[in-house]
Amino acid sequence: MRKNQINGIINDFLHFKEEINPLNNISIRYKLKMDLKKNKLDYPKEDDVVVFYKKKTEWLLDRINKLGGNTEDFEEIKIIVLKRKEKLILKYGGQKFEKEFYYKNNYRDKAVAEFRKAVKKLKPIDLSTNKK
């Protein structure tokens, strides 16, 4: 495989099904680690996040095969997810390729910004007087 194909795979993986990724709506508490070379999953429970990333890994492995690659040629294939950040690490031909993507909750971020703006507009109350 060529270097630009690997970079393309990484970029496509990070944006695959981006619109339905659970990280758009939640922040996961525990680190999810998937080592596809050892077929190992490190996460405390089976939930929607794990189901989503299993489907995403199926796509990744299928994509490597479609591009004429073989997963046996890779020294490392890892996916790491924590809070709202997703990271893919591929090691191929002695070279390490990695990239991460951070999902933002636009609704929550907008609500927090509006709340902060409203708080700044509030006037302080003088508590030293008993006037109402």
Q: By percentage, how much of the chain surpasses pLDDT 70? A: 93
Q: Single out the residue of 77, 81, 100, 78 nearest to residue 31, CA to CA.
A: 81
- 110 belongs to a structural domain: no
Q: How far apart are CA 101 and CA 60, in angstroms?
A: 16
- 42 belongs to a structural domain: yes
Q: How far apart are CA 21 and CA 26, in angstroms?
A: 9
> For the residues 19-42, what does the mean pLDDT come to?
92
Supply the pTM of this predicted model.
Answer: 0.77
Which residue stretches of 1-132 are H helix? 3-15, 48-66, 106-121
- 9 belongs to a structural domain: yes
Range of the domain at 17: 3-104
- 93 belongs to a structural domain: yes
- 109 belongs to a structural domain: no
Q: Single out the residue of 48, 102, 93 nearest to residue 74, CA to CA.
A: 93
- 92 belongs to a structural domain: yes
Q: How many domains, the chain? A: 1
- 94 belongs to a structural domain: yes
Give the model confidence (pLDDT) of 33-84 as tens digits. 999 999 999 999 889 999 999 999 999 999 999 999 899 999 999 999 999 9
- 25 belongs to a structural domain: yes
pLDDT band at 113 (very low <50, low <70, confident <90, very high): confident
